[in-house]
Amino acid sequence: MYVPFSAGSRNCIGQNFAMNEMKVAVALTLQQFELSLVPDKEPLKIPRLVLRSVNGIHLNLKKIETAS
């Protein structure tokens, strides 16, 4: 099992900061790009506690044009 920040009394002190940084990075990316699935790379779902894809999730990113 992958546990990036560990747990218990000796867990990572930067866990909250790292999670907030990732949320900001994802939010900024979603503001500037339109995401769509690659047509010939359909994700193969495997049932687990956390839903995953066997072959990853392949995305196309298209820059959103802003009116200046």
- List, as residue ranges, the binding site for heme: 12
| Eight-class DSSP state of 15 | H
| Eight-class DSSP state of 10 | G
Residue set of the binding site: 12
Return d(Cα 62, Cα 68) in angstroms, integer: 18
| Eight-class DSSP state of 37 | E
